[in-house]
Structures are given as structure tokens and as C-alpha cells.
Structure 1
Amino acid sequence: MSHTVALEFCKLCGWAYETWLNHSELFDRNPRANELQRSWAADELARLSIISQEYALLQVAKLHDPAVVSGRITLSIDYVVIYGAWDSHTKGKLEVLQSQLHSFGAQLRGARNKSLSHNDFAAVVSGAALGSFKPGDDEQYFVALQEFVNIVHEEVIGGPWPFDDLVKNDVAAFLAILKP
């Protein structure tokens, strides 16, 4: 695996983490969430929450694409494992993490295929839930993804690739300007 490919993969994983953390901090973990839901901006914040959640889920779901889709190569977890040319020890560690990560990703597949990427007629008309996961599963997913990314970065480039959690500061600054 080239340095460029490894770095771009790490960036994609980091972006998925940042979009998830942004949504989580702004809407799920926000101590002012109830106050904001009763504010004059409640409708806009609800809209932003949906947009943010759908975008974050799509970024995660794309990481779980097969290595090749319709004859086109995707830069995904599967691509990294299959085409990384890892030694057997490293490949074994990556495959264990891949299995864990795909377990979570599978829970998003219905939402991705029927709502996030396409407007599936039956799904839209029925209004049925298209996927879910238990509270905390998303956090465990990103712990495993961080470990996966660190292995890739260490083996190809050297050193870990820590996800950027400074998003928390950006969300706090944003919330500060929303003071009623």
C-alpha cells in the first residue's frame, strides 16, 4: 500500500469520526439540548440534526463498501485489508478489527441503501425504521476504527494517526453564539 493511499484512507476515517463527533456533541451530548429544542431556532436545529446525522452515517457506511463496486475500486476497509499486502500478523489483526467494524456497519446498510444514498420507494412510503444500534455501539465502533487506522498508518507511514477531537471545541464555540 502506498503512503498516499494509506494517508487518504486515514483521512476518510478521520472525517467519518469528525462528522459523527460533531453531531454527537451538538445534538446527542449537548447539555443545552432541551433548552435549544424549546428556543425560537428549534425547527432549524431539528433540521440541522437530521442533516448532520444522515451525513455522519453516510460517511461511516461508505467505509464499509466492498473493495470493488460495479467494476470500480472503492477506498474502504475491505480495500485496505484485501489490497494492503500486509504480513500475516498485521493482516490477522486488521481482519479481526474488520469483522468488528463490519458488524456495526451492517446495521447501517439498510439506511444507506434505502434512504441515505437512494430514495427507495417502499422504504419512503412505509416510513419504517431502516436501521438502529444500541447506545454506545457507535463509540465502540470509533475505538475499533481508531485502532484499525493506527495499524495502517504505523505499518505504511510510521506512528499512529489520532482522530481529531478538537471538534468538541468548535461545537462549544458554536453553542456559545447561540446563547438566548
Structure 2
Amino acid sequence: MEDILYTISVYTENNLGLLNRIATIFLKRHINIESLTVSSSEIEGVSRFIIVAYMPEEQVKKIVKQIEKQVEVIKAYYHTNEDSIYLQSALFKIKSSLLFDKRQIQNIIKKSNAQIVTVNRDFFVVEKSGRKEEIEQLYSDFLPYGIMQFVRSGRISVTKDEMRISDILKKQLN
């Protein structure tokens, strides 16, 4: 069985301790979570977990079923990269002097379609949204010049197919 990168979407009530229980499901199966994002969803009062991990399809089916057994979980789905539209965001903090002294920095920013979000005397911050590979490339491009700080978000995604999740969730909540 080949490990495939899956995105698992979990729609849930926002309750204390749920994140720990979901993480434990992966821990017990020795599956590393590559990315985890939690946010509000399109339904008021419903949160959405987006979990990204490598595993065989048989395993992801079992994990989704176990996640759905949690009391607060309304519904869980899994998708491949081909089924989803997804992005990550990253922030890079770099010394301001480089922005003015090294023309290459400006070229790197333009080439990567990143944007400068703030500039002050000591540093500037660049934001890049895109695929993981694009962010890693920008990181590699900035690395020789020195990165003061770097942070990358977890994956955010929506499915390519219409899921009518709002209708499904409304029915389950009523």
C-alpha cells in the first residue's frame, strides 16, 4: 500500500479537548500530521479542522470513521490533492538594509509574486501565499541573505466538487 497525501476536513462543534482526541487518533496509528489548521466554517458555530497527512487509502478511511465517532464531530471527509484547491501562507522577516542594498531581494520578491506587508528601519516582512513548494522555494531564495524570522501556516483548502456541506450540516444540526 502506497502512502498518499490526504487532506481530511472535520466539521465540529468547538469543544475543549477535541483537538487532543483527534491528534491521539493519529498518534495511536503512528501517522505524522504534516499540517493542521482550525478555523470557523461557513456554518455559524461550526469549526473546521483541516488535517494533512500521508497514509494509505485504507488507513484514511479508518481514521475518518474513528474521528466521526467523537461526540462533537458533525462530519468528516477526506480528499486527495487532485480533489482540492489548497494554499498555505508564510511570513518572512528580513533586515531592511537588504531591501535597499541588494537588488536581488527585490527581484526575488517580484519573481515569487510575494508582497511586502510592512517596512521599518530594522526589518521588512514579506507575505507569500501559495503551494508548499512555492513557499519552500522562496525560503531557499531568501536563505543566503539571512532570514530573521519565518512562519508558515497549515494548509487551507476547499474541494473542487460541490459538496453542499452547508445543507448537510444544517440537516444534521437540526
Give the TM-score taking structure 2 as reference length.
Answer: 0.30
Give the TM-score taking structure 1 as reference length.
Answer: 0.29
Taking CA–CA contacts closer than 8 Å with sequence separation of 6 or more, which of the two structures ends up with the larger relative contact order? Answer: 1
Query: Which structure: greater helix fraction?
Result: 1
Who wins on radius of gyration, i.e. which is larger? 2
Query: Which structure: greater strand fraction?
Result: 2
